Structure 1
Amino acid sequence: MLELALTGEGAHPLLGRIVAQVSPGERFCLLGPSGVGKTTLLNAIAGLDPRVPGAAIRRRPALRIGYLFQEHRLLPWRSVRQNLAMVGAEASRIDRLLEQVGLRDAGDALPDQLSLGMARRAALARCLAVEPELLLLDEPFASLDGERARQMRRLIAEVLAAQPRMAMICVTHDPGDAEALASRVWYLDGKPATLQRDLRMSAGLLRSGG
């Protein structure tokens, strides 16, 4: 599905040598210190960082990627329903997506009329509207209070359970997110940053992985 082959030869100021692979159905949490380059790596995977050579990220042709950014990035002058329609979702599917993320009655609201938690769920619905094979999540629980973070974590877990071949990479600071969502954990550290550890989840525990 996806192969990372960053050489670490000065092509990017934050990222060093990173070699890894993502297969269908794998769920990663990407941990590391603040500012180390976790979001930068996620942007590189999405093809949004021009400083990363194109050959360094090899994606399966026509790979569908859904990206949930730290900010919801919904168009503020469009309703939630219109935001989903703009990525190609038909009316009947929009209703199902809004139901799925718990926003059945918020489709006609503008983004600024939503709470942060609701706006993030609307942005997740927009991601799902493209039927992603790879779901990228950048700090999806940041700035949410404890209960709303738990609700969002449970929602993402339900989405993943319903689509077992969907891969996920989630940037987070909380190892608890890995226990709830991940089958594998990458730990990024160093200057420039490299994958210091690649760990597999086993029965709620971490063990060394390849």
Structure 2
Amino acid sequence: MSAPSEIIAGTAATPPEKLAIPEALPVPDAPAEDSPAEPEEQEWGTFNFLLIGLVVFLALAATVTAAHQIHHGRNRSRVIKDLTNAAAAVRSYVRLNGTLPNDTAAGVVPAGMASLLAEINWTAPTPIGGLYRLVNLGPKDARGVPAPGTLMIAITAFPPASPLILSTDDLTAIDRAIDDGNLATGDFRAGFAGWPVLWVRLP
């Protein structure tokens, strides 16, 4: 008689009810997808980004403007000092030589005045553009003193000289520092093309 079907190769088969059936492996939860931002949140994020950019831009612009104003103010102060020194140099020349200095082209140091004008970079563009020039138009009174407006320190900007970076407010500020504050009166005035001139009055 053949062995029962439950016995194979001398080994008793495990009854079906005792078979270890592996439990189903747990299925990992799918990663939660980021929920899209609400439209209102997106709008606020964009607005904040633009606002921050605007604040940074305005801060940089204010810094650049302030730096420019400081630099321009220093240049204007330098011109005030140069004009004052130049007028004093002309008076010293007349006192030492008994004669008036000759009229010169812009940027050319008048003959015999190099040492008197040593503190001024006469041959280079002024701090506000243009070039310094000593103007002697010649007319004199009976004492040999130049008529008002004939002996002057001018700043001219004929090409190829660099243009003047000077507003009416700048001219008025210079006038207040060295004269009467009125560009139409006194010794400091706005001359040809609005370029500044300082009349040199001799004692």
TM-score by length of 1: 0.26
Specify the structure having the higher radius of gyration (Cα): 2
Between structures 1 and 2, the one with greater strand share = 1
TM-score by length of 2: 0.26
Of structures 1 and 2, the one with the larger relative CO (CA 8 A, separation 6+) is 1
